[in-house]
Amino acid sequence: FGYSLAFSGDGDWLGDTSAFFLQSLTRDGARAGTHLPESVFVMFQMTFAVITPALIVGAYVERIRFAAVLLISGLWMLIVYAPTAHWIWGGGWLAKMGVMDYAGGIVVHVTAGVSALVIAWMLKPRQEFPHHVRPPHAPWMVMVGAALLWVGWFGFNAGSALTAGGDAGMAMLATHLSAASATLAWMAIEWIKFGKPSLVGAVTGTIAGLATITPAAGVAGPLGAVLLGAAAACVCYFAVWLVKKVMAVDDALDVLGVHGVGGALGTLALPFIVVIGVAGGKLNHAPLEQFGVQA
């Protein structure tokens, strides 16, 4: 159902039912506007729909019944994700305004971040929060998971070009540079503040850089990606502190602070990143007008 609601029809708010159960899918048919078999396009978009509720799980892990996780994930994908994907990638009202979201800054990261905040707030914090929250029991596993994400992100961002060529190559390069820059910047912040960086902090910076470059990967050049990654570390570090210490919401894996704020930062910075360096892409409007659309 979700694919049809997101990627069929020309409605402003929601797709239609013409692709329910993929009834219109043929073996050799290409997705309109691309050279891809529609079966490949369906699978690619399904990976986005799968990963987004998986991000939200990080906010409430081990504080919720498993049956509720299944129910929330399925309903959330249909009620929140599919309409938002249609607004931007399926020709909906935001697409008609000219909003630019290359690989899911809004569709994936902002929606996941805000939803994670709501669920974590409703579930209430862990008993020891916020003064005695234990770090992950095996930081090396955190590192391995982040490394898998770093590589997997190339598939999301470069793959969003929907073709093998210069656009995909530049998106992949920008993704890597932003992640590396944010990792180093987050380490520097911890080094200055605590006297030494941490492995968990470093990989949190990695994810912040990846989330922030996601909407802008299609227009950013190498220098713009490095600067955006550094900005992501600074802004997301502050956002994590704000959520935990000021708002007192136990967002266990900082889904709002890293994914939500990172996705929003990349979305808003996109019109200005395009003019940095020589490898920038094209905007739908003049930079200031594009910023208004993005906001």
The 3-class secondary structure across 229-275, one letter per residue, is HHHHHHHHHHHHHHHHHHCCCCCCCCHHHHHHHHHHHHHHHHHHHCC
d(CA 188, CA 183): 9
Could you give the percent of the chain with pLDDT greater than 90?
83
Q: How big is the CA angle at 275 (ends 293 and 216), to the nearest 5 degrees?
A: 55
Place of tokens 């800054």: 105
Residue 278 pLDDT > 70, yes or no? no
d(CA 276, CA 26): 43
What's phi and psi for 30, nearest 5 deg? -95, 145
Taking the alpha carbons at both ends of the chain, their separation in whole angstroms is 29
Q: What is the pLDDT of residue 154?
A: 96
| Bridge partner residues of 30 (DSSP) | 37
Q: What is the pLDDT of residue 32?
A: 86
- Which whole number is the average pLDDT over 216-227? 94
The residues, any chain, with a CB within 8 Å of residue 28's CB and separated by 6 or more, are: 37
The residues, any chain, with a CB within 8 Å of residue 178's CB and separated by 6 or more, are: 209, 210, 212, 213, 220, 225, 226, 228, 229, 232
Q: What is the pLDDT of residue 6?
A: 95
- Which whole number is the average pLDDT over 187-204? 96
- Which whole number is the average pLDDT over 155-184? 95
Average pLDDT value for the chain = 93
Residue 215 pLDDT > 80, yes or no? yes
Residue 280 pLDDT > 90, yes or no? no
pLDDT, one tens digit per residue, over 96-137 is: 999 999 999 999 999 999 999 999 999 999 888 888 777 788
Where on the phi/psi map is residue 225: left (φ > 0), alpha (ψ -120 to 50), or beta? alpha
18 burial level (CB within 10 Å; 0-12, 13-18, 19+): exposed
Residue 91 pLDDT > 70, yes or no? yes
d(CA 243, CA 204): 15
d(CA 164, CA 158): 9
Could you count the other beta carbons within 10 Å of the beta carbon of residue 286? 10
Q: What is the pLDDT of residue 128?
A: 83
Q: What is the pLDDT of residue 130?
A: 80
Residue among 176, 239, 185, 186 at smallest CA distance from 213: 176
Q: What is the pLDDT of residue 120?
A: 94
pLDDT, one tens digit per residue, over 19-72 is: 999 998 888 888 988 889 999 999 999 999 999 999 999 999 888 999 999 999
- CB-based burial, 109-144: b 16+ in 10 Å, e otherwise: bbbbbbbbbebbbeeebeeeeeeeeeeeeeeeebbe
Residue 279 pLDDT > 80, yes or no? no
pTM score, whole prediction: 0.94
The residues, any chain, with a CB within 8 Å of residue 148's CB and separated by 6 or more, are: none
